[in-house]
Structure 1
Amino acid sequence: MTTLRLALMAGLAAGLLGDRGADWSIFAVAMLVLLLDGVDGWLARREGVASEFGARFDMEVDAALAAILSLVLLVDGRGGVDLLVLGGARYAFVAASFVLPWLSHPLAPSLRRKTICVLQIGALAVLSAPILPDWSARPLAVVAAAFVFWSFARDIRRLAATR
């Protein structure tokens, strides 16, 4: 299921190569990938095939989806720093772990992290809907980015305290 989500995301990434910005097809695929994310986890737990690798693969696919959607929106001129936070937070965190190795220590599973991820990708998907007016798009992006920033800050603080 995660591999199917990854394949669908390749279509989103291909949209970056053309002149297309955010449109209904981007919105539909983003929402489908988000829906399949929920089905993916449920199926893995139900069938007893949940694994550390599967969870990590799922997390990286989620991060890539956020990055791709953010890039689509940036190319379309629909945001700024807020989109960089939404699409690049995971990659900034990983890059920082090369300088501060204690950031790569494992974190306990967290419902907060899962919820913020759904909020992050859901907000990016909604932002890709061409019908969304600019007056509501920017506050949505800023609020979602603030939640992502807060979540990463909590994890960084926890990792710093236990290093």
Structure 2
Amino acid sequence: MLETGGAAAAATLGFGVLLATEWVWLVSRADPSPETAAATWAAGTLLVVVGLCAYAYANADENVAPEDGRTSGPAEPGRPYDGLGVPTAVTLTRGFLVAGVAGIAGVAVLGALSPSWAWAAAVGYGVAAALDALDGALARRLDRVSRLGARLDTAVDAFGLVVAPLAGVLLGELAWWYLSVGAARYVFLAGLRLRERADRPTFDLPPRASRRVLAGIQMAVVPLALAPGVFDPWMPLVTGVAAAALLLGFARDWGYVSGRFRREGDGDGDASRTA
């Protein structure tokens, strides 16, 4: 069965867009006052924070040690941890930073396009991206690897690559086509679900470290693209190459899960959840 993280993130994004649209209607597309911009940012940020916390609460039973031997801590495989632990707290902090960027996207919809908002988005998402290397390392170091932490990490990564480019497009720092980077994973998962409903076979993805590398490249490129005046002449080329590499990776993976590309010994099975 596919993860519900994609659906939860997509629903949160939909509510965020709805909220921003409502604010646009309220202010009649006039330039927002500082108070209106601040209130919009706070409302959008809070909405995503609530959605993230609700997702964590709904998956609280996943706060257990994995059963694949990735931890040697005090919790036996499959047994619950006491509390979230530092690594998951770091992941939630990353999610809160991404929520702040989502709030900035809402402000940009209102027409607040000052460089200060773009810098705030660049710094906020940049810190969230940098912390991506910390939560997993802490989980392994402290023997607190958990299925909940993995779920949250994937959800935050995927949602961040939706709202940060969206903020960049609205602020005039990124080209609209870069939104395909954030949409790719959700389109991929939707395609898998459609195959399941049509009772068509899906196949496991071969292990490939390049998936994580390609996602990491996007998370490094986006903060630079959001920062006004930083490498601006090079950004169209850099973002184009980065986006093309990621999209080609998804196209290759779709070939594997749909059976167009076959490995020896492949058979009908569950779709991989590593996309």
Q: TM-score, normalised by structure 1?
A: 0.87
The one of 52, 60, 68 aligned to 2:163 = 68
Q: Does 1:56 align with 2:151?
A: yes
Distance 1:17 1:103 in 2: 40
Q: Secondary structure at the match of 1:130?
A: coil
Instruction: Give the direction of change, closer, same or farther, for the CA distance of 1:104–1:119 in structure 2 (3 Å limit).
Output: farther
Instruction: Give the direction of change, closer, same or farther, for the CA distance of 1:50–1:109 in structure 2 (3 Å limit).
Output: farther
Instruction: Give the direction of change, closer, same or farther, for the CA distance of 1:34–1:104 in structure 2 (3 Å limit).
Output: farther
Distance 1:98 1:37 in 2: 28
Does the CA-based 8 Å contact 1:5-1:37 persist in structure 2?
yes
The one of 99, 104, 107 aligned to 1:15 = 104
- Give, as a single letter, the amino acid of the residue that structure 2 aligns with 1:5: R
Q: Does 1:79 align with 2:175?
A: yes
Q: What do you get for the CA RMSD once the two structures are aligned? A: 2.2
Q: Secondary structure at the match of 2:163?
A: helix
- Give, as a single letter, the amino acid of the residue that structure 2 aligns with 1:149: L
Of 106-115 and 116-125, deviating more is 106-115
Does the CA-based 8 Å contact 2:214-2:245 persist in structure 1?
yes
The residue number in structure 2 matching 1:4 is 93
1:62-94 deviations in Å (ceiling 9; x for gaps)? 01111011101111233022x122221111112
Give the fraction of aligned pairs with identical amino acids, expressed as a percent: 29
- Give, as a single letter, the amino acid of the residue that structure 1 aligns with 2:155: E
Q: Does 1:39 align with 2:128?
A: no
C-alpha displacement at 1:17, in angstroms? 1.9
Q: Does 1:135 align with 2:233?
A: yes
Does the CA-based 8 Å contact 1:24-1:129 persist in structure 2?
yes
Distance 2:251 2:140 in 1: 29
Select the structure that is richer in helix. 1
Distance 1:52 1:109 in 2: 19
Distance 2:225 2:187 in 1: 22
Of 58-67 and 126-135, deviating more is 126-135
C-alpha displacement at 1:104, in angstroms? 7.3
Which aligned segments of 4 or more residues in structure 1 are displaced greater than 3 angstroms?
102-110
Q: Secondary structure at the match of 2:190?
A: helix
Does the CA-based 8 Å contact 2:203-2:258 persist in structure 1?
no
C-alpha displacement at 1:33, in angstroms? 0.4
Q: How many residues align?
A: 162
Q: Does 1:119 align with 2:217?
A: yes
Instruction: Give the direction of change, closer, same or farther, for the CA distance of 1:23–1:39 in structure 2 (3 Å limit).
Output: same
Distance 1:92 1:80 in 2: 17
C-alpha displacement at 1:134, in angstroms? 4.0
Instruction: Give the direction of change, closer, same or farther, for the CA distance of 1:107–1:84 in structure 2 (3 Å limit).
Output: same
Instruction: Give the direction of change, closer, same or farther, for the CA distance of 1:15–1:152 in structure 2 (3 Å limit).
Output: same
Q: TM-score, normalised by structure 2?
A: 0.54
Of 61-70 and 88-97, deviating more is 88-97
